[in-house]
Amino acid sequence: MAGTEAPQPPLALPEKPSFAVLPFDNMSGDPDQEFFADGMVEEIISALSKVEWFFVTARNSSFGYKNRAVDVKQVGRELGVRYVLEGSVRKAGGRVRITAQLIDAQSGIHLWADRFDGSLEDVFELQDKVAVSVTGIIEPALQAAETARSARRPTSDLTAYDRYLRAYAMALSSARQIPEALCLMEQAIARDPRYGTALAWAAFCCYRLVGDGRSVDPEVDRLKGADFARRALEVAGDDPGILANAAQALAYFGEDIGAMMALVDRALVLNPNYARAWHISALLRNWAGQPDIAIERAEASLRLSPRARVGNSLAVIGYAHFLSRRFDEAVPKLLLAIQEDPSFTNQYRFLAACYAHMGRLNDAREIVVRLRATTLVVIPDASYLRNPEHRELLLSGLRLATGEET
């Protein structure tokens, strides 16, 4: 029929996780608030665009749907994206409520939703706060979604990316799965020797095997982990995830701690909303003998991603209080960390040492019993703690807890 346009074929999906941020609905009944709703979306697009493993549709494309009732599946086809972020803004008096939700555009499944309340006294500060929060929460939500999507594929069709995603899910879910995660990362690297993300996470797995006391041959794993990390840095470019993970492993294996902290700082300049980099920065500050700075950075990680496991920042805060001899403050953080991941060994070591220095030797010995159920290494090589006093504080506490020092 004349004047009828043929339907456009759907755009091909990019290799990266891809999504569009649709204009937020102005629910305030106040046309003057349109500028705030539009500014909110622009801030979120800008913040998400800094995450290099995302593909984010430009504002001009997504704002074509403004003031239109949309079907997210149609948006996905038309813009060539897998995920859609939509939301609304509602003003009441001097307060504003912003809601947002992330949707899988292919299945229509809601992956994440939240709301943010704030004052309109400084709309730009509120916009920035929401953009940072949304970015910090969406990144692990997308990791989980991509992992689940990969797991639904036939095993015979797995690529290096599939194996990386499977390994990634294991590496942060339980310390007991680290050996299997490392095996999968090595398979991904065998398929693509310059796969920087897999190299960096393989280095992380080696660090955890040695640090947890689960390595069959610690010296071999140290050398292998350092090699993975250095190879990752060779291809890292400006990828903040590769920089931070490689720096963590190299710092543990003895590289200059100042240089490794600088690498993580660079990752944070590239992506200030990267919760895991804030966690790694906190960990390295503890190792460098700066526990108060470590607490600040761990708290920044928790603010960005309060519901996701980004490396158990509570444990890092507990370590920092311990190193500062604030034992009463360390205990509850370490107990919470153990509750979240009972398979991770280091939090048991710090808690046992903490109890010992508090004179609670029965409690310390009970924790040592639980530690021995997860690893044969109770008193570790603590050379990663660069401050000699901090190192001795941990080791002397463990000697008391095990009865090796009376």
The pLDDT assigned to 2 comes to 43
Q: Give the per-residue pLDDT at 134.
A: 74
The residues near 403 (Cβ < 8 Å, ≥ 6 apart) are 365
Q: Which fold has domain 153-271?
A: 1.25.40
User: Per-residue confidence at 310, pLDDT binned at 50, 70, 90?
Assistant: low
Instruction: Please determine, for residue 157, whether its predicted confidence score (pLDDT) is greater than 60.
Output: no
Which pLDDT score, from 0 to 100, does residue 147 have?
62
Instruction: Give 183's pLDDT tier (boundaries 50, 70, 90).
Output: very high
pLDDT in tens, 215-262: 999 999 999 999 999 999 998 888 888 999 999 999 999 999 999 999
3-class state of residue 87 by DSSP: strand
**pLDDT greater than 50 at residue 386:** yes
Cα 303 to Cα 306: distance, rounded to the nearest angstrom: 6
Average pLDDT over residues 344-370: 96
On the question of pLDDT at 388 being above 60, the answer is: yes
Highest mean pLDDT among 67-81, 140-154, 191-205: 191-205
Of 127-131, 202-206, 277-281, which range is least confident?
A: 127-131
Count, in order, helices (H) and strands (E) of the chain.
Answer: 17, 6
DSSP 3-state of 28? coil
Whether residue 132 is predicted with pLDDT greater than 80 in this model: the reply is no
The reported pLDDT for the residue numbered 92 is: 73
With a cut of 70, say whether residue 56 has pLDDT above it: yes
What was the pLDDT predicted at 152? 45
Is pLDDT above 80 for 127? no
What CATH number does domain 18-151 carry, 3.20.20.70, 3.40.50.10610, 3.40.50.300, 3.10.400.10?
A: 3.40.50.10610
At 39, is the pLDDT very low, low, confident or very high (cuts 50, 70, 90)? confident
Residue 155 has pLDDT above 50, yes or no: no
The pLDDT > 70 percentage for the chain reads: 87
What average pLDDT score do residues 295-322 get? Answer: 83
**Domain segments of the chain as ranges:** 18-151, 153-271
Whether 8 has a pLDDT exceeding 60, the answer reads: no
- DSSP strand pairing (95-104 vs 83-92): antiparallel
pLDDT tens per residue, range 62-71 = 888 887 888 8
pTM of the complete model: 0.69
Give how far the C-alpha of residue 296 lies from the chain's centroid of Cα atoms, to the nearest Å.
16
When comparing pLDDT for 240 and 281, which is higher? 281
- Closest by Cα among 169, 122, 174 to 150: 169
Tell me the Cα Rg of the chain. 24
Greatest mean pLDDT range, 8-17, 34-43, 87-96, 172-181: 172-181
Q: Which of 2-6, 45-49, 125-129, 273-277 has the highest mean pLDDT?
A: 273-277
Backbone angles phi, psi at 35, to 5 degrees: -60, -35
Task: State the chain's mean pLDDT as an integer.
Answer: 85
What is the arithmetic mean of pLDDT over 357-371?
97
